[in-house]
Amino acid sequence: MALWGTIVNAVAIIIGGLLGILLPRISESIKNTVLQGLGLAITVLGITMALKSDQIVIVIMSIVIGGILGELMRIEANLTKLGDWLQTKMSKQPTSHPAAPTSISEGFVTCTLVYCIGAMAILGPLDGGLRHNHDILYTKSLLDGFLSIIFASTLGIGVIFSAASVFVMQGTIALLATVIAMAFSQASLDAMIVQITAVGGVLVIGVGMNILQIRKINVANMLPALVIAAAAVPLQQFITDWLNK
């Protein structure tokens, strides 16, 4: 089943989020310290990912073009609107939990970006779709589930809704895996994953900076950069082959 790994990943996020919400109330000072620690760790992860590529021009061009497209598409604003809509719906439901979130959109947008960006979020569903091997997504599920416990205890119930974003994105990749494999050679796929990982690393750094409240960065508006990075590899190969003729 091509989608099994993605389903496990989404369920792990939901379970982790529920555990985080049901934990005993944590003091604000502890929450702030944990959130700052997460922000630092995520920033380091982003730097590690960004250094995967030795073609900085592709990374820069992808960020610039992707950022322009994302601004035109208003991705960040639409994701925030969706989070606010969920907030409105949830606020109509009675709750006795003492740590009810003040902003579902913050947890939803932050975790959507953290869980959907990275090599595992691409390699996992590709492997699941092509070989029905879900080992990568099983590993990602453990990591995401653990992060969900921490995020939900600090950012609230919006974390749980990010499971839907994970399911849609990874499920789409898994279902298209066969088509993707037929269109590109293994070498091209490997090169595309390197560039996507590097660009994704830059975006993850932005997420870390947002969590640390260093500066508000519209990371979601840069998501098209991942597609641009993937498209840049075959385009670069085409130009190289054409010049060598």
Residue type, 206: G
* Nearest 10 degrees: Cα torsion 233, 236, 238, 242: -170
Amino acid at 20: G
DSSP string for 113-163: HHHHSSHHHHHHHHHHHHH---HHHHHHHHHHHHHHHHHHHHH-THHHHHH
Top mean-pLDDT range of 123-132, 160-169, 191-200: 160-169
Cα end-to-end span (Å), the chain: 44
Contact 146, 20 (CB under 8 A): no
- Over residues 175-205, the pLDDT tens digits come to 988 788 778 888 888 888 889 889 988 998 9
In whole angstroms, how far apart are CA 77 and each of 72, 83, 90, 109, 216?
11, 10, 20, 10, 13
Per-residue tokens: 236: 């670069």
Torsion angle (degrees, nearest 10) of CA 162, 176, 57, 51: 60
pLDDT tens-digit readout, 2-42:
899 999 999 999 999 999 888 766 677 877 887 888 889 88
| The pLDDT value given to residue 100 | 44
Instruction: For residue range 44-85, list pLDDT tens digits in order.
Output: 988 988 998 889 999 999 999 999 999 999 988 888 888 777
